[in-house]
Amino acid sequence: MRACAADRAALAKMCDPRIRADSTLLDVCYAVCTTLERDGVTAVLTGGSAATFYAPEAYQSRDADFIVMKRPRIISSPSAMETLGYNERSGIYIHETNAFTVEFPPGPLAIGGDLVSAWETFERHDEQLHVLNRTDCVRDRLAGFYFYADRSSLRSAVAVARSGAIDIDCIRTWSERERELARFEDFLEELRRD
């Protein structure tokens, strides 16, 4: 037990101070993405956490989902996640003091049958965050609605769409390829409501 406590104490000294018990999901996302990038790993924020990035007042995810796009052949040790105070348990990274978890679902980065090869990169002070662009984030949320009848995914798609400019024609074309034009009309109807 003493060795474990000593290891935790040493790790705590190495931990990035940006992730604390009161750090927001956005703080966690920026810290994780920046730390990974410094290790040569490019990871893109996706899923509900990307929806939270674009529409935090309407949707709050409890975890950050990153798809790894590029990884070096050799990864430094200790892992980037450990330096941030995270430990992996059954594929989920849990922070020693912060409630937000981090996951790395298997790639490729895709929305339905479409592979995604471009994303947005945002900067905040000395940090950066790679995230699905707003249109792809809407499509990603709609995928949950289309394929799993998840109404919360529809609500988050609408919130993201209302948060800024999207390419509605791209979403319509994708919806048609996915044979989901009827549910796309449901999305448009929700989007038009106050």
Verify that 48 and 105 share a domain, yes or no: yes
Which one of 131, 161, 179 terminates a domain?
131
pLDDT the model gives residue 79: 82
What is the value of pTM for the model shown? 0.86
Which of 98, 131, 164 is at the close of a domain? Answer: 131
Q: Both 34 and 71 in a single domain?
A: yes
- For residue 17, name the pLDDT band (cuts at 50, 70, 90): low
pLDDT digits (tens, 9 = 90+) for 138-163: 999 999 999 999 999 999 999 999 99
Whether residues 113 and 182 share a domain: the answer is no
Q: Are residues 140 and 79 in the same domain?
A: no
The Cα 122–Cα 101 span in angstroms is 21
How many structural domains comprise the chain? 2
**What would the pLDDT profile of 116-138 be if each residue is shown by its tens digit?**
999 999 999 999 999 999 999 99
Residues 82 and 164 in one domain: no
Query: d(Cα 173, Cα 118) in Å, to the nearest integer?
Result: 18
SS3 per-residue string spanning 60-83? CCCEEEEEEEECCCCCCCCCHHHH
Same domain, 40 and 116: yes
**Token couple for 135:** 């249109």
Q: What pLDDT sits at residue 80?
A: 86
- Distance CA(37)–CA(70), nearest Å, equals 9
Instruction: Give 175-185 pLDDT, tens digit per residue.
Output: 999 999 999 99
Owning domain of residue 146? 134-192
